Structure 1
Amino acid sequence: MQSSSSLDPVAGREQGQAQIDVERALAEIRAGRPVALRGGDPVLALSAEALDAATAATLSALAGAGARLVLPAPRLRRLGLADRTEAGAVALPTLDPARIETLALRLDGRIDAPVAPASAGDAAALALMALAQVLPAVIVVPGEAAPPGSLAVTADAVFAYPRRQAAGLRPVSRAPVPLASAPDSEFVVFRGGEGLRDQVAVVIGRPDFSGPVAVRLHSACLTGDLFGSLKCDCGDQLRGTAGWMAQSGGGIVLYLDQEGRGNGLANKIRAYDLQARGLDTYEADEALGFGLDQRRFDFAAAMLKALGVTSVRLLSNNPEKAASLEAAGLTVVETQRALGRVTPENIRYLTAKRDRAGHALDLDAFACLDV
């Protein structure tokens, strides 16, 4: 069935322009410039990590004493509001970079002022930060005022962006790429799904698409996949899965650009710093303002469907991946564990995944390792 936008050229053009507006807004946020969010509750939004003296002076002239720092619920809980379940806004009578850094990032930060409920504009500003993969803390100036040349985007476009990106996913290139453990492999590159980033389907061997296909959804892990970090088991899972598929009738590895459980590389390294100071992987993410997992897998299902897959044997320890594929209309006939090495450096990480996120990991045999 055709979508309403494909039947209505005007609606299609409007949606296309809305996507372009969000993509430009993401570039502005990542470059450290403010973006105007329009709609019923107009605001000007700036990533808290981008605040410097010059930007503070510009926003202060626009905001007077009306600016606020919007923080997600996990960060507010870390700041001392133990029962907080919704995002909130802290008043910023002055744009003090030191205070904002303490509230947005530091482990020793504590709430120092009343926290107001987040407005619709605040929620859109936080959503924009999430899409840009910057720290989930945003300086908001209410109203229509904006510095000259500021980009504007509607809040509705921001919220609709992920769904429309998944719907527009398309393959753009493919070629044989022999791997050490799977010489008969083909890389298929898709554009879309998550922001402006490319996604890769690695087709290993000659899987039979008329039946269940062995599949792994593997989120990119620069530190583990490329550099062999001992803090996780990601590289082991990736290479082990590819080798197993090569020896077992073939399969597909989807290599998804969702670093750090969807938080982005910079935030992942921030979380690593917090882990070095004693927090586990989920505690570190929560201290930064993130939930347990920001990843989406609807576009992964779209990639599989584009390749002709309808039924899956999933290689994963994460029950959420199977649920996401089934919700997107694929049949998951079996889930098989994807194992990696257990070491003194990663056992606390693996234990947290088992205990906090329900991953299927049997670590009892390694209880003697120093955590």
Structure 2
Amino acid sequence: MALRPDTRELAARARADLRMGVPMVLGIKGAAALVAAAETLSPERLASLRSFGVPLLAITPRRAETLKARAYSEHVARVIVPQDADVRWIQNVADPADDLMMPMKGPLQTERGGEEGIARTAVALAKTAQLLPAAVIVAVDEGPATAAANGLTWLDLSEQDLAWESSALSEIAAARVPMEVSQAGRLHVFRPKDGGEEHYAIEIGRPDRARPVLTRLHSACFTGDVLGSVKCDCGPQLHAAMEAMAREGAGVLLYLNQEGRGIGLANKMRAYSLQDQGFDTVEANHRLGFEDDERDFRIGSEILKSLGFHAVRLMTNNPRKVAMMEGTGIEVVERVPLKVGEGDHNRAYLATKAAKSGHLL
């Protein structure tokens, strides 16, 4: 039926449900389970989940390493939730905020072997919903029937390869926007087909599609770009890139809504809080259960191609951006360094980016 949502649309619905604390039902290769985000789970819903069976808490191997729990997999760890554990126990395992105050959260028992696809996908859904990467799962015999009886979203990925994680973009609108750096400015708005965060392309001047264009892939940073935070170098990089494009007479700024290296503003603030406890930016991400960098720069490549650009002079200190552009069909004829904004508050942060994330600083 034409009105029926497809898998990508159901995945977007499932992410919205998880953010609100509503469970969903996930099916993979004949198995099915109720899935709820650990961060938004309520005591009432935990009790209801327990009526279906014994819950497991799916977390990332990064978080499991912090908790000294065995993952038995490079993709996911499945922690057995004790019978007397409440929501607070689950959320304390998922959230590292009080790790230093309560270092002994275990010993945690984890499952070994068996099908891990549902647990792995549940964590991926929580991540893309910009929640803590942890999900409570309870196996059920009849996925569609369980979903229908409880009014829950049923997402069957048995025939999918998780391609829904990366959604195609469509240009929604564009208009002239005169700016301080250029009176000839134009803003393009791109929207993912899965209803996710919109991304923006700003043309400064009138870039020639036939020549390599000066380009900056800039991930949104509310604290640096808007508040002027000196904890990072994002704000200075943004303004320096726009000024360089103005001097050159043309350029393209891609402003991608991938806050906090792709983990979202709330998780970024959690990482900042951990940094205040003495962890560096990479260690903080790992304790939360994330990788060093969760961003997808293929988004930028797709936007450039849709605007008619195929070669760039890329303003970045991050070799990963260069590799991603070249790996997706955009020729990088030159990497243009962008070393600005170092100060007393971010010197250690920049050193960590160089030492652990390979930035050329």
Fold match, TM over 0.5? yes
How much does 1:26 deviate? 1.3
Residue among 80, 105, 116 paired with 2:95: 105
SS of structure 2 residue aligned to 1:127: helix
Residue among 21, 41, 51 paired with 1:51: 41
**Aligned Cα root-mean-square deviation (Å):** 2.1
The amino acid across from 1:150 in the alignment is L
The amino acid across from 1:137 in the alignment is A
Whether the 8 Å CA contact 1:124–1:158 is kept in 2: the answer is: no
SS of structure 2 residue aligned to 1:42: strand
Note the 1:189-204 alignment, pairs <5 A: 189-192=189-192, 196-204=196-204
SS of structure 2 residue aligned to 1:309: coil
Rate the CA distance shift 1:47–1:158 in 2: closer, same or farther, 3 A: farther
Note the 1:111-150 alignment, pairs <5 A: 111-117=106-112, 119-143=116-140, 144=143, 145=146, 148-150=150-152
How much does 1:110 deviate? 3.8
State the TM-score, normalizing by the size of structure 1: 0.88
Note the 1:67-78 alignment, pairs <5 A: 67-78=55-66
Task: State the Cα deviation string for residues 51-104 of structure 1 (Å, max 9, x = none).
Answer: 2221122112222xx111011011011112589744111111334122212211
Task: State the Cα deviation string for residues 235-264 of structure 1 (Å, max 9, x = none).
Answer: 111111011101113110100010111111
Task: State the Cα deviation string for residues 223-282 of structure 1 (Å, max 9, x = none).
Answer: 111010111010111111011101113110100010111111111111111111111111
Counterpart of 1:321 in structure 2 is: 321
Rate the CA distance shift 1:15–1:208 in 2: closer, same or farther, 3 A: farther
Whether the 8 Å CA contact 1:234–1:340 is kept in 2: the answer is: no
Task: State the Cα deviation string for residues 29-72 of structure 1 (Å, max 9, x = none).
Answer: 11111110013221111110112221122112222xx1110110
Task: Please say if 1:159 is aligned against 2:157.
Answer: no
How much does 1:193 deviate? 7.2
In 2, distance between residues paired with 1:181 and 1:278? Answer: 39
In 1, distance between residues paired with 2:33 and 2:95? Answer: 23
In 2, distance between residues paired with 1:178 and 1:154? Answer: 47
Whether the 8 Å CA contact 1:182–1:242 is kept in 2: the answer is: no
Whether the 8 Å CA contact 1:102–1:109 is kept in 2: the answer is: no
Counterpart of 1:4 in structure 2 is: none
Counterpart of 1:3 in structure 2 is: none
Whether the 8 Å CA contact 2:8–2:194 is kept in 1: the answer is: no
How much does 1:182 deviate? 3.1
Whether the 8 Å CA contact 1:231–1:346 is kept in 2: the answer is: yes
Whether the 8 Å CA contact 2:188–2:202 is kept in 1: the answer is: yes
Q: Which moved more, 1:128-137 or 1:49-58?
A: 49-58
Counterpart of 1:233 in structure 2 is: 233
Whether the 8 Å CA contact 1:186–1:202 is kept in 2: the answer is: yes
Whether the 8 Å CA contact 1:312–1:330 is kept in 2: the answer is: yes
Number of residue pairs aligned between Structure 1 and Structure 2: 345
In 2, distance between residues paired with 1:124 and 1:315? Answer: 35
Counterpart of 2:222 in structure 1 is: 222
The amino acid across from 2:164 in the alignment is Y
Identical aligned residues as a percent: 36
Rate the CA distance shift 1:115–1:126 in 2: closer, same or farther, 3 A: same
In 1, distance between residues paired with 2:291 and 2:23? Answer: 25
In 2, distance between residues paired with 1:30 and 1:289? Answer: 17
Whether the 8 Å CA contact 1:22–1:158 is kept in 2: the answer is: no
Q: Which moved more, 1:79-88 or 1:97-106?
A: 79-88
The amino acid across from 1:258 in the alignment is Q
Counterpart of 2:294 in structure 1 is: 294
Whether the 8 Å CA contact 2:23–2:152 is kept in 1: the answer is: yes
